[in-house]
Amino acid sequence: MALGDNIKRLREERHLTQQQLADKLYVSRQTVCRWENGSRCPDLIMAKKLAMELNISLDELISDEDVDQFTKEGFPFHSDKVKERKALEERQKRVMEFIQLVGAIFLLISVFCRIQLEMRVPIWCFILALCLEAAAFIVRYRIAKKLNQLY
């Protein structure tokens, strides 16, 4: 069975044991073993998670052909949409981390001013934080909109 062979080959290429792969997918080692020996197959959702964990496309995971051969011949299995979606998701993650960082810095400044200096937060600090947060939310909204268009 091509699927089981592919799972085993890809797992071994990434130097993962059955237990390590099972832990990443929140299944038992026996489940991974059954997939590899062909007595069971992962359901569609688990196959997608498996492909993502192994950093390949679902087509490559289930294919019984040499995918590299087809890719070279002009049958790309790694679609540009998949690559673009991953890049957008990574960008969205960085924007969210920025939003959290700005919020944390503003909170620290607020607490410091209130406790140490016994004064209110300067208005310029509030306006700056508000502008940064608004810009970050706009960028995140646009990225989310692009992601929705790709689905």
Q: In whole angstroms, how far apart are CA 112 and each of 80, 109, 118, 124, 130?
A: 48, 5, 8, 16, 18
- Per-residue pLDDT at 66: 54
- Per-residue pLDDT at 70: 45
- Per-residue pLDDT at 71: 46
Cβ neighbours for 87, distance < 8 A, ≥ 6 positions apart: none
- Per-residue pLDDT at 79: 65
- Per-residue pLDDT at 72: 45
- Is the whole model's pTM more than 0.85, yes or no? no
Mean pLDDT of successive 10-residue segments in the chain (151 residues)?
Answer: 86 93 94 92 92 88 63 52 81 88 86 79 80 86 82 62
- Per-residue pLDDT at 31: 94
Which contacts of 43-50 are long-range, i.e. CB under 8 A and separated by 24 or more positions? 49/25, 50/7, 50/25
- Per-residue pLDDT at 65: 62
Cβ neighbours for 41, distance < 8 A, ≥ 6 positions apart: 3, 35, 47
